[in-house]
């Protein structure tokens, strides 16, 4: 695939010759430094951005960005935005979550059932009549996730799912996602620049550097790879710096 942001000034960022495969029922970590192109790549995968050339195949079918194609993607892939405020829009959580379900051509009672299931799955059922905008960051992320779950997607794409969360909220989110993965057999692709999650949670690791795929493989191999290590840095590097400044 090939993609470049079209800016009036000289365009600084480009994705080129990038290709990888996702196997069902696994957890994929897309990592790389800020500005590496992780969010851009995800937006391409779900049709929010248009490729300049090349193709993307989702579940064996080439992605088409017409209305029908995009609707199909939405049903198969749940894309959780980095910032939940970009995703939530309705006056109440229940309406927000129900929006996508109502487009599924299900009966009213089936829609109600799905919405109830999704709200329970993210532990927000008792908040259903609240505005999504008055929630904490973690609750907003969960409300946005419920809005994706009503489609019962095969693939969940999570952009920085653990960023801005305290440890307890991270546990809470992990528990919810893991439950969905096992009971609903969802495949996960998440981005994070935190190597802890890559090492502990992912089955496969993809490292992006300036729009190029630097590494694709097992996390234990990626974390030992000297190029990857030098690119991403570590707590050790921060620790050394602190030590030096304290002398």
Ligand X SMILES: Nc1ncnc2c1ncn2[C@@H]1O[C@H](COP(=O)(O)OP(=O)(O)O)[C@@H](O)[C@H]1O
Closest distance to Mg ion from the beta carbon of 32 (Å): 9
Cβ-contact 205, 29 below 8 angstroms: yes
Measured in whole angstroms, how far is the alpha carbon of residue 127 from the centre of its chain?
24
Query: Of Mg ion, ligand X, none, which one sits near residue 35, judging by CB under 5 to 8 A according to partner kind?
Result: ligand X
**CA–CA separation, 166 and 231 (whole Å):** 26
Name the phi and psi angles at 90, rounded to 5: -85, 160
Residues 3 to 42 in contact with ligand X, rule: CB under 6 A: 5, 7, 12-13, 32, 34-40
Q: Rounded CA gap, 200 and 131, in Å?
A: 35
If the CB atoms of residues 34 and 245 are measured against ligand X, the closer one turns out to be: 34
76 binds, options ligand X, Mg ion, none, Cβ within 5 to 8 A by partner type: none
Q: Which H helix or E strand runs over 203? A: none
Binding mask 62-91 for ligand X (x = CB under 6 A): ------------------------------
Nearer to ligand X, 12 or 233 (CB): 12
Instruction: Tell me if 186 contacts ligand X by CB under 6 A.
Output: no
What is the length of the chain? Answer: 247
- Helix ranges, 67-136 (H): 67-76, 93-102, 108-121
Interface of this chain with ligand X, residues 140 to 159, rule: CB under 6 A:
none
Partner whose footprint covers residue 128, from Mg ion, ligand X, none (CB < 5 to 8 Å by kind): none
Query: Is the Cβ of residue 86 or residue 108 nearer to ligand X in the bound state?
Result: 86
Work out what residue 7 binds among ligand X, Mg ion, none; the CB cut-off runs from 5 to 8 Å by kind: ligand X
The count of residues interacting with ligand X (CB under 6 A) is 12
Residue 54 touches which member of Mg ion, ligand X, none, C-beta under 5-8 Å by kind = none
CB nearer ligand X, residue 32 or residue 84: 32
Which member of 39, 64, 169, 225 binds Mg ion (CB under 5 A)?
Answer: 39
Report d(CA 211, CA 183) in Å as an integer: 34
In the chain, how long is the greatest CA-to-CA distance?
Answer: 69
Three-class SS state of 63: coil
Give the Cβ contact number of residue 130 at 10 Å: 16
Cβ within 8 Å of residue 226, ≥6 positions away: none
Q: Contact residues for Mg ion (CB under 5 A)?
A: 38-39
Q: Contact residues for ligand X (CB under 6 A)?
A: 5, 7, 12-13, 32, 34-40
């Amino acid at each position: 695939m090939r993609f470049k942001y079209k800016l009036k000034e000289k365009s600084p960022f480009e994705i080129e010759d990038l290709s990888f495969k996702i196997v069902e029922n696994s957890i994929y970590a897309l990592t790389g430094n800020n500005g590496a192109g992780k969010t851009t790549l995800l937006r391409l995968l779900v049709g929010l951005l248009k490729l300049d050339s090349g193709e993307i195949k989702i579940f064996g079918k080439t992605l088409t960005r017409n209305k029908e194609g995009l609707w199909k993607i939405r049903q198969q892939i749940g894309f959780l935005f980095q910032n939940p405020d970009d995703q939530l829009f309705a006056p109440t959580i229940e309406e927000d979550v129900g929006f996508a379900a109502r487009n599924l051509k299900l009966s009213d009672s089936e829609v109600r059932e799905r919405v109830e299931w999704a709200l329970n799955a993210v532990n927000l059922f008792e908040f259903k009549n609240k505005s999504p905008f008055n929630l904490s960051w973690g609750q907003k992320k969960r409300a946005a996730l419920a809005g994706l779950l009503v489609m019962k997607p095969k693939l969940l794409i999570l952009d920085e799912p653990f960023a801005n969360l305290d440890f307890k909220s991270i546990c809470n989110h992990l528990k919810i996602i893991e439950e969905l993965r096992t009971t609903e057999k969802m495949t996960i692709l998440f981005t994070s620049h935190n190597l802890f999650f890559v090492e502990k949670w992912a089955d496969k690791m993809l490292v992006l550097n300036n729009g190029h795929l630097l590494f694709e493989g097992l996390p234990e191999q990626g974390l030992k790879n000297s190029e990857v290590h030098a690119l991403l840095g570590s707590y050790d590097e921060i620790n050394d710096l602190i030590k030096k400044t304290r002398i």
